[in-house]
Structure 1
Amino acid sequence: MSVTLSPTAPPTEAAAIARDALLGAIEQRVLWLSTASIHHANHVRPNPLGLKVGGHQASCASMTTIMTQLWFEQLRSGDRVSVKPHASPVLHAINALLGELDPAALAGLREFGGLQSYPSRTKDPDPVDYSTGSVGLGATAPLWGAIARRYVENHGGRAGTGRQYALIGDAELDEGAIWEAMGDPAVEHLGELVWVVDFNRQSLDRVVPAVSVTKLSAMFEAAGWQVLVAKYGRLLEGLFARPGGERLRARIDTMTNPEYQRLLRSSDEQLLDRLCGERWPELRALLADVGPAELRAAVGNLGGHDHDTLRQSFAAIDDTRPTVVFAYTVKGRNLPMEGHPQNHSAQLTPAQFEQYASSVGRDPADPFQVFEPGSAEGALCAERAALLRREPVPAAGAFTPPTDLGWVPRGTSTTQAALGRTLLDLTRRAPAIAERVVTVSPDVSSSTNLGGWVNKAKVWSAAPSRDWFDDDPETILHWEESTEGRHIELGIAETNLVGLIGELGATWSRWGFPLIPIGVVYDPFIARALEPWTFGMYAGGQSILVGTPSGVTLAAEGGAHQSLLTPAIGLQQPGLLSYEPAFALEVEWMLLECIRRIGIPGGSSSYLRLSTRPVQQDLAEVPALPEARELRRRQVLAGGYLLRSPQAGGAPHATIAAMGALVPEAIAARDTLAEAGVHVDVVCVTNAGLLFDALQARTGQASGEAGSADAGEWILRDILPAHRAAPLVTVLDGHPHTLSFLAGVNGVQAAHLGVSQLGQSGDQESVYRSHGIDAASIVRAVLRGIAQG
């Protein structure tokens, strides 16, 4: 059951009251600085176009007590905090008081090159532990950060100890990412995890009538979390302690959320009338000697605005399991819009700001002043700054994997199987690098060909357990869990997968201990994970995501498991290297290149789109000459290579540019055409994004790709030289627009084949034919192109 904490007098009550008065003075300055920074951005800084700048003064006000209590009393240097997006100005105000941010920078909130709208690890100039802004994802980041910290400690790094806090707006609890994360089996042993919910019961548009700590607590408790509730503060508890005070408690407890908040915006006479009403006449006697100002202060004295209540909440945390603290607050606390149902984006008018400045003794013309060093407040700021200061993160060297493991694939294989094979080869050829590989799966390890790797690397778990099937002769996948394992298994939730690989991919910048996180997921579900994965990249995480199996090639599984849009990710996602191999050897080269880009400033994440289609590997015609093999490798990594050209030499009648699983269809079409005397080039495209960047560079446009030294105009000259320009047919197991830009390389007649309709179950040949991506369809497209050209 949840525990509701009520403040009790500590042994030295006078000292505690003095301490809270000091914290109150700091809290007041924090609220002023955060409010002033938003005001400056909207009402002082020139805005010639009149476009909305924005900011959330009310959302900041509900958090100032909680954040002041944390930074100025609770936190230690090893702790990390994810701050709810709309409280970003509060974080910057605190950092200014602690000397981590030039106070003048507060004038640059939401200005280009200045403080970001929401906390950003990579773009803000002051310390930010977790990027937030995409609702629900910043809240869950400390959960994955806790696993990453433990993993680093278990594998020879020095990540230290410390709590992982998430400060969450209660409306964020509407996001599914919250519940997917909190209930994952990997979470139940994370005792360092603390979520603090700013329970102000307001969303963007209204006071939410039905949100209830009772219901929410039951959900957390069912998942094994400790639940603490900071509901009322010292002033209200003092009234409750009077004879008959339990009636006042019952009255406030049973109020609806909108009714309570209406009290806060009542006149003194209305407040007493609304509180007592006709059904509670005995409350008038209880409150007869309570003055209007005292009553108003008490009614608004919720637990999230009372340092003593919060202090007790944090002291009661059970460090053996995750904890959630529901801290009751008022949105807009101590500002004129306090408690108003539409105050989410409201801002003080210039007149209100002047009045507010006067009430707190600040100069609105010089708003960003911090405490004098000789003051009691300044001394506490200096003391906390020294305690919270962290050692600089040691620089981590780049991974230098071999460029080629020397494998020559034979027979029939799939690109999906090549992933597991490459990981195992890496343990033999580059064991020091393989030791930094950590694979993550949402319960699809065996079906994505990671079984051999899992048997070799073992499974990581915060709480080791025995494999009861280790002596079963029919068991192929051995599930040995320990803190030394290098594979992490999560439940079936792609959002959790990418959240974890994002944090594992940030250990190089947090603790100077780079990891190589590789997540595997069914390719059709990458779209479900794309937004949180993108946010992880924005936050500085560098990871490798493998989507497999992919496309309508997974014919029998039907439309629910056939991915159409994923090939275009590499064209559209900044900071991402996206490869789709046709042959097993290409997987090896690509994976090694992806590893090389991880764990360094300016590095990148990568995406590999793999297939379960068995392909004859000799179709790749990998050159035997070492120099020619190296050229092929460079071309593969730069975006593509010429796989077939007319045996008779000379210019082709047409060009087929194919990608991934459909390269065998392109070769079959080429052979059919050759028998009819029509000669074509077959280009194998491996990275559409790099080819697009090369085309952009040709026209003088800056590249948006993640900076490959091998990506440039030279690759276009190699695979689509002007002297071999001919009608073009592109084909891939995905949406045809992905390769349509290739027609612009030489300005040729083009047809683009691919999958643009939702599919159905069937055999591969029938499915290919229905979408017009089989060999016969390619032949017809080539002949039409030649006729029209």
Structure 2
Amino acid sequence: MTTSELAQLARQLRVDSVRAAAAAGSGHPTSSMSAADLMAVLLAGHLHYDFDRPDHPGNDRFILSKGHASPLMYAAYKAAGAITDSELLTFRKRDSRLEGHPTPRRLPWVEVATGSLGQGLPIGVGMALSGKRLDRIPYRVWVMCGDSELAEGSVWEAAEHAGYEHLDNLTAVVDVNRLGQRGPTRHAWDLGAYARRFAAFGWHVVEIDGHDLDDVERAFGEAASTKGQPTVILARTVKGKGVDSLEDREGMHGKPVPDAESAIEELGGVQDVHVEVRKPAAARALHATRTGHLELPRHEAGDSVATRDAYGRALTALGTARGDIVALDGEVGDSTRTEYFAKEHPERYFECYIAEQQLVAAAVGLAVRGWVPYAATFAAFLTRAHDFIRMAAISGAGINLVGSHAGVAIGQDGPSQMGLEDLAMLRSVHGSTVLYPCDAHQTGRLIAQMADLDGVRYLRTSRGDTPVIYGPGEEFPIGGSKVLRSSDADRLTLVAAGVTVHEALTAAEYLDREGIQVRVIDLYSVKPVDRATLREAAERTGCLLTVEDHRPEGGIGDAVAEAFGDGGPVPRLARLAVKTMPGSASPEEQLHAAGIDAESIAAAARLLVEQAVVR
């Protein structure tokens, strides 16, 4: 396209952004208008994308990190012929594909959900890593950011990681329009402030006037030709560009244009410019290979093996059987045991260092490209990435998260290292699967099954060794549980998972010597929970006592209680959990102090049985 044709396209993108927001009665047209020239040049001359084949492996990837500017993206789709003008005007309406912030749920050209600012660039890093190290296809990853979101720490985790990895297939385009939601951004139009930061992380920096189409064209070309470095294009723009009454005006963020008809007339009126977006070169996806044979590690009954060790060995075996398995870690691979995978499959291992937001974001980016990622760190540290996990669920991304060093059972390290809220956090994520194995064989089986599940999957591992109680051929269906001990004389059911399974079994032995029979359930699938087994136990024993190395809120106790939340009869429910603030002590001392060791469980069971007799 000529410069004048690009200018016409940019005007159309502005007009259609105004029209879409006006039809919806809400939206962010002024944030869309500032980036219209950038989008016009990208769409017409630099993006390689087949809208008829969104799954084409050679397609460039585009992420609108400033997701509130979705009218601009939808206007670009119209210009490319992907949607009609009538659909454009369904923006933000019920059942429309054009949501307020883009998600992949309905639109095949959107790969990840955005709108929670600061996430586009970290996910883009994951996509770029896939292209460079795994797919080995020369597609480019374009991420359009807003200047406000550069205040997010996750952006700088991404910037450092991209620079360190020399991701020259990644381009960030920053729409520096000066105004945020409530007023000026921290650095306003000081492009140099942003330039110094990106340059410090090893990026090639280009500063431009974002409304000078020739300047924009040169910058995009420079990005494509830069080798060995990611490129950031810092574009000085004006919010509300093209309408005098809106330009650089505070108080217009997130609002439709007051007089849309006049604004459209000032912008040149409704147009119907069509863009022939360049098609990608022929490409072939090289991954998703499988040997078809998975040989999980085997252990002898009675052996003591930490579930974190079992995770590392099982993941390594899974990686040998399946070429689509990739692993990521947050610089604790020697503790999580992801290092086992790294040594065996270094080409599919990604070290993300102590940057948990980037860790999860990279996993999402890799999942979008068709890989099956397992991302591990301490369970406690996954809380730093909760928003990325939440948004991964909105994206429908299939990621596996593994949290080690869970609970007070880790011992002397103290509360800062103890994952005590992770089950609650992951259970609350839409469509998630939450698993908590108690022995090595169970861990291996669950790790293998996770690869073929949908959505966000979480597995909790333990630091210390635990006895192997299951055989190598035992099956552990998702949503199931195991009844480890039962009789017709059971007067109580102990429900446990992970380390507390072994404490519950020991407590059951203590009680048995006293003539008190109790049932023991290993609730390894915390979500979905085994309602049928829990209901049967409630009917047979009348009382369920949950025991967990976790805070009482949101964990196993709540999962069990919710199994009886359908309005039917509810059994007596009691729970043991970590209600104190731990210090440093041995694992055994920690479990006792928290009241979740065998002795404490037996004492609670005696009290519950006595109360039942009295009643």
Following superposition, the deviation at residue 128 of structure 1 comes to 2.4
Aligned with residue 731 of structure 1, among 534, 547, 561:
547
The alignment covers a number of residue pairs equal to 589
Change in 2 beyond 3 A, CA 1:329/1:723:
closer
- The AA in structure 2 aligned to 1:147 is L
Name the CA distance, whole Å, in 2 between partners of 1:370 and 1:758: 64
SS at match of 1:37: helix
Aligned residue number for residue 614 of structure 1: 465
Segment of structure 1 superposing worse, 145-154 or 179-188: 179-188
In the alignment, is residue 592 of structure 1 matched against residue 448 of structure 2?
yes
- CA deviation profile, 1:163-206 (whole Å, cap 9, x unmatched): 21111111110000001111127744111211111111111111
Following superposition, the deviation at residue 531 of structure 1 comes to 1.5
In the alignment, is residue 641 of structure 1 matched against residue 482 of structure 2?
yes
Matches within 5 A, 1:422-501: 422-426=314-318, 431-433=320-322, 435-458=323-346, 485-501=347-363
Name the CA distance, whole Å, in 2 between partners of 1:185 and 1:197: 16
Following superposition, the deviation at residue 215 of structure 1 comes to 2.3
Q: Is the 8 A contact 2:550 2:578 kept in 1?
A: yes
Name the CA distance, whole Å, in 2 between partners of 1:168 and 1:425: 39
Q: Is the 8 A contact 2:111 2:395 kept in 1?
A: no
TM-score by length of structure 2 reads: 0.90
SS at match of 2:423: helix
Aligned residue number for residue 307 of structure 1: 213
Aligned residue number for residue 35 of structure 2: 63
Per residue, is there more helix in 1 or in 2?
A: 1
Q: Percent identity?
A: 26
Aligned residue number for residue 47 of structure 1: none
SS at match of 2:89: helix
Name the CA distance, whole Å, in 2 between partners of 1:218 and 1:457: 37
SS at match of 2:205: strand
Following superposition, the deviation at residue 312 of structure 1 comes to 1.9
In the alignment, is residue 330 of structure 1 matched against residue 242 of structure 2?
no
In the alignment, is residue 80 of structure 1 matched against residue 61 of structure 2?
yes
Change in 2 beyond 3 A, CA 1:735/1:391:
farther
Matches within 5 A, 1:393-404: none
Name the CA distance, whole Å, in 2 between partners of 1:654 and 1:186: 58
Q: Is the 8 A contact 1:655 1:680 kept in 2?
A: yes
Following superposition, the deviation at residue 399 of structure 1 comes to 7.4
Matches within 5 A, 1:664-679: 664-679=502-517
SS at match of 1:108: coil
Aligned residue number for residue 147 of structure 2: 170
SS at match of 2:546: strand
Matches within 5 A, 1:645-660: 645=486, 649-660=487-498
Name the CA distance, whole Å, in 2 between partners of 1:497 and 1:576: 18
Larger radius of gyration: 1
- CA deviation profile, 1:226-256 (whole Å, cap 9, x unmatched): 11110xxxxxxxxxxxxxxxxxxxxxxxxxx
Aligned residue number for residue 56 of structure 2: none
In the alignment, is residue 750 of structure 1 matched against residue 601 of structure 2?
no
Segment of structure 1 superposing worse, 335-344 or 579-588: 335-344
In the alignment, is residue 341 of structure 1 matched against residue 231 of structure 2?
no
Alignment gaps of 5+ in structure 2: 50-58
Name the CA distance, whole Å, in 2 between partners of 1:319 and 1:111: 44
Alignment gaps of 5+ in structure 1: 1-17, 43-53, 155-159, 231-302, 363-368, 372-376, 459-484, 509-514, 598-602, 696-712
Matches within 5 A, 1:272-421: 303-317=209-223, 318-335=226-243, 336-349=245-258, 352-360=259-267, 362=269, 371=272, 377-378=273-274, 381=275, 384-385=276-277, 387-388=278-279, 405=296, 407-410=298-301, 411-421=303-313
Name the CA distance, whole Å, in 1 between partners of 2:538 and 2:552: 23
Q: Is the 8 A contact 2:111 2:368 kept in 1?
A: no
Change in 2 beyond 3 A, CA 1:355/1:150:
same
Aligned residue number for residue 505 of structure 1: 367
Q: Is the 8 A contact 1:192 1:322 kept in 2?
A: yes
Following superposition, the deviation at residue 394 of structure 1 comes to 8.7
In the alignment, is residue 180 of structure 1 matched against residue 157 of structure 2?
yes
Change in 2 beyond 3 A, CA 1:518/1:658:
same
Name the CA distance, whole Å, in 2 between partners of 1:66 and 1:151: 29
Aligned residue number for residue 220 of structure 1: 198
Matches within 5 A, 1:38-53: 38-42=21-25
TM-score by length of structure 1 reads: 0.71
Name the CA distance, whole Å, in 1 between partners of 2:288 and 2:133: 19
Name the CA distance, whole Å, in 2 between partners of 1:80 and 1:492: 26
Q: Is the 8 A contact 1:503 1:536 kept in 2?
A: no
